[in-house]
Structures are given as structure tokens and as C-alpha cells.
Structure 1
């Protein structure tokens, strides 16, 4: 960097470069993951009947493509204005929110299934989930409305970042941390109660998927809370969407695995697993 620029300008430019590298890497990783699973996904899309869970899968799987397209446009667009940055960033925030909501829905219903369709547990989870979504929307859009976007003063450095006020962005991930802590507690409680008395392969798969998903979610939520609070420039938000992407990959990959396990157990029937009707205690594992 040229010495004629201030230390602050150089630090901001470097943060924007790192931000762009991260999003480019994430887009590459997402495309690679899609290419690796395209055969299994094609089989699922063509062989399973249309149900609500299938629609949920499609939204969860393909919304990140829109998220990456919008973010890469923002990262590489030259001569951005503050208004353009805010407008595109709001679009990206909507895509991120849709992605994380759909991913979480998979595991809320799985937890509901593990609890034998207990209505009290479902109401508790959905109430907490609704609180998380409402709080996240309020925090995200209030932060973008009050925090100005800035671009680099150094020629050739594209992209923009929120110079102040972005600390509010930790709130959605704090709420998500609380939701997932609740869900993993419910999952582990159910496991302790039923593990020794349930001889069910499908039950075991759902349980392992849930625990791994929530553990990853808790770790990423804590990392995003810390980066939002402690880092400056574009660094503060560099991993926010990474968590959404990882959640979407885990949710869709785990659902594909569950569908194929169920299909292989019944090779003559090409059906999709309806998670709301899948009660593990009624499932008999084939020998």
C-alpha cells in the first residue's frame, strides 16, 4: 500500500480484501459441495414426491446461490455509493435470514420427532424460534439503517463496510446461540431418556445429526458474537454469512443422508421422509 494513505485507510482496505477472499472462497466451496452431491440430489428431486419438506429442502439448498451472487456483486462492484451498499446489503441480509430459518426448521421438526411429537415441546421451540427471528430482523435492519457504509479511498479496492454501529450484528447470533442451546439440551435429554430402550437405527441417525449440527451452530455463533464485538472494519462481519452457509450445507446433506437411508431400507418404494410424521418409536430397523 502507498505510504501517502493513512493507517486507517490501509487497514480498511486490507479488511475489504480479506472480506472478498472469504466470500470468493465460500462461493467456491459451496459450488464444489453442490457438484459432489449433484447425483444424490438429482435422485432425491426426481424420485421423491412433492411435500412441504422437499420444498423446504429446495429453498435451503438454493438460496445461498442468490446470497453469493448478491455479495460478490457488492464486493467487486466499482464506485459503490453508500445507498447502493445499504440496498444490496439489505438484500443479502434477507437471503441470510431465509437460509438460517429454513436450516433451523429442519432440526426443530427433528427434535419434535425425537420427543414423540410432544405438542408442549413444539410450542416451546416455535415460540423461542419466533422470538429469535423477530429479534434478528429488528437488530439487522436497525443496524444497517443507522450505521453508514464506507468504501476504501485507495484506488482498486472494491467493496464497502459499516464504519460504526455494526456491533448490533452480534444480537441475531446471540439469539441463535440461545435457540440452539435449548435445542441441543432437548436432544440430549431425549437421548438420555431413550437411548438404552430404543433399538432404532433411524433414531440414532437423527440424534447424531442433531447433536453435531447444534454443536457446530454453537461454536460458529460464539465466534460471530466475538468478531462482531471485538473486530473493526469489514473484519467484524466477515464470518456472519459463513455460518448460514455451513448450516445450509449440514441441513441439506443430513437430510439427503436420512432420505437415502430410508429409501435403501425400502428399495421398492421411492418416498420422501415427512419429518413431521416420522416417529422413531414406530420404526422397526430391518435386520
Structure 2
């Protein structure tokens, strides 16, 4: 019996379904993680002072909620208007960019604190950080309109997708990887310089957190670069927001852990931790 749809159409429909499953799983995972840490979360929000770092935490923590809402709406709503798909995708991309910038900001500040608030290091970090952010946004939004969206003609298959990626879809992850390599290099150099003189529990925690965060970020970036270059249909972009959500979860949970640890520390370690968590004077 001859099938009504081509193999490419069926493959595209399967990619849309798998993409929807992945976003649903991520939303469930994020909600579960938020529920499990609800007590610690509200203790931090109610008891800590309002600082720039705390505002950064709020953005990094709650932007994923709006990101999931927008993506799930786009994935599960049957809409033939491809201009609406482009608009929703631009909203999701803006939220993704904001999320990853907030997450990376935590580790820019941590690296700055590890270098004893060295202004030269801060200037270098901010220059690299802003360059990556502005260039990535320009590449992504500049090329978003050049790759049109498609929908599936198969009944019951909702959502829209780009059939292929472009330079604006994988170069930002290369730039993000370069930024993280720069941050991890500064972290390791500082660790080698001060390990004997600053071999404290806080220093070890900061180093372990930073290395783990960068390792996850680099791995996810490589996956997204390969997916953008090698995969088609909805597969080429389905791991992008997965990376941003993982980075947001790691950054906020690590910050929350440091804040609670700061409440139980005294003396010099507490002052150093306060510089990272924003709770110091």
C-alpha cells in the first residue's frame, strides 16, 4: 500500500514530535527541581539583601518559566501562520539569550572574585562577555529570517520548525565555548597561583563548581554545534534550549549553595563568599 506522505515529510513530523517530548521533559524536570528546592529558594529570597547579584539570580531562575511557556505553546499549537512561528521563535530566542547571559554572568563575577577583584581582569572579562553576547545576538537574529519555517501536513502533528540551520545557529555556540575556555583558563591559572595560600573549603568549592559548570557548558556547546551542522528538520535546534536550561539550573543552584554556606561561615572566608553571592558588605 502506497503511503500518502513522503519519507522526508514523515521524518520531519517525527522530529517535531521528539522535539515536543524533549521540551515537555525539560519543563517537567525544571518544575521538579524548583519544587524540591522551594524551601531553600524562598529562604534565600526572603532573607538575603536585594543586590545586583540577587536580581541576576531572579532573572536566571525565572526566565526559563517564560521560555518553556513560549516553546510549549509553539510546539503544541496548530498554526499554519509561519510569520507567527517566526515571532514566537524570536521571543524564545530572546529569552534563551537572556537566560544564558545571566548564567554566564555568575561565573564572570566568580572569576573576578577569585582574582581578588582585579580591575584589569574585570575589564578583560566584560569586553569578552559583551563581545560574545552582542555578536551572538546579531548573528542569530540576522540570519533567523533567511531560513523559513515549515509545518507538517500530517494531521495531529503540531508545531513548526526550520528545515536546516545556518551560520547564525552554530557560530554563537563556538563563541560561547571560547568564552568558557577563557574563563576556565583564568580559573585554573588563579588556582595554581593561590592553591597553597588559599587552600580553604570555600576556594575548593568555587573551583569545583566552576570546573563542573564549564565542562557541562563545553559539552553541550559541542553537541549543539554538531547538531546544527549535521542534523535536519527540528533535530538541529532541539538541544539549544536544553543547554541554556541546564546552565541556568547549575548557576542558580550553585549560587544558592554558596549563599547558604555563607550563612554558616565567619571571618575571611565569609567575606570572600559574600563577594561572590552579593551578600557581603
Could you tell me the TM-score, scaled by structure 2's length?
A: 0.94
In structure 2, relative to structure 1, the CA distance for the partners of 1:77 and 1:134 (3 Å cut) is same
Give 1:213 shift: 0.6
In 2: Cα distance, 1:277 partner to 1:88 partner: 34
Aligned-partner Cα distance in 1 for 2:245–2:83: 26
Equivalence for 2:18 = 18
Residues of 2 paired with 1:277 and 1:127: CA distance?
22
Q: Write out per-residue CA displacement over residues 138-193 of structure 1, whole angstroms, 9 at most, x where no aligned residue.
A: 11112211110000011110011112444530011111000000000110111111
Deviations 1:46-71 (A, max 9, x none): 11111111111000000000000000
1:265 equivalent in alignment to 2:265: yes
Q: Structure 2: how far apart are the matches of 1:18 and 1:162? A: 15
Which structure 2 residues correspond to residues 38-187 of structure 1 after superposition, within 5 A? Answer: 38-187=38-187
> Cα offset for 1:243?
0.5
Between 108-117 and 156-165, report the one with greater CA deviation: 156-165
Q: Residues of 2 paired with 1:122 and 1:231: CA distance? A: 38
SS in 2 for 1:217: helix
The equivalent of 1:285 in structure 2 is none
Looking at structure 2, the residues matched to 33 and 145 of structure 1 have their Cα atoms a distance apart, in angstroms, of 35
Q: CA deviation at 1:137?
A: 0.6
Aligned alpha-carbon RMSD (Å): 1.9
1:79 and 1:257 mapped to 2: Cα distance?
A: 43
State the 1:262 CA deviation.
Answer: 0.7
Q: Which moved more, 1:155-164 or 1:170-179?
A: 155-164
| Residue 275 (structure 1) shift | 2.2
1:146 match: secondary structure: coil
Give me the whole-angstrom Cα distance separating, in 1, the residues matched to 2:152 and 2:198: 59
- Give the gaps of 5 or more residues in structure 1: 280-287
Deviates more, 1:120-129 or 1:164-173: 164-173
Equivalent pair of 1:53/1:274 in contact (CA under 8 Å): no
Misfit runs of 4+, over 3 Å:
164-167, 271-274, 276-279
Q: Which runs of 5+ in 2 are unaligned?
A: none
State whether residues 165 and 229 of structure 2, in contact with CA within 8 Å, keep that contact through their aligned partners in structure 1.
no
Query: Structure 1 residue 208: deviation in Å?
Result: 1.1
> Cα–Cα, structure 1 residues 277 and 152, in superposed 2: closer, same or farther, change >3 Å?
closer
Could you tell which deviates more after superposition, 192-201 or 45-54? 192-201
| SS of corresponding position for 2:145 | helix
Contact between 2:19 and 2:238, CA under 8 Å: does it hold in 1?
A: yes
More deviation in 236-245 or 140-149?
A: 140-149
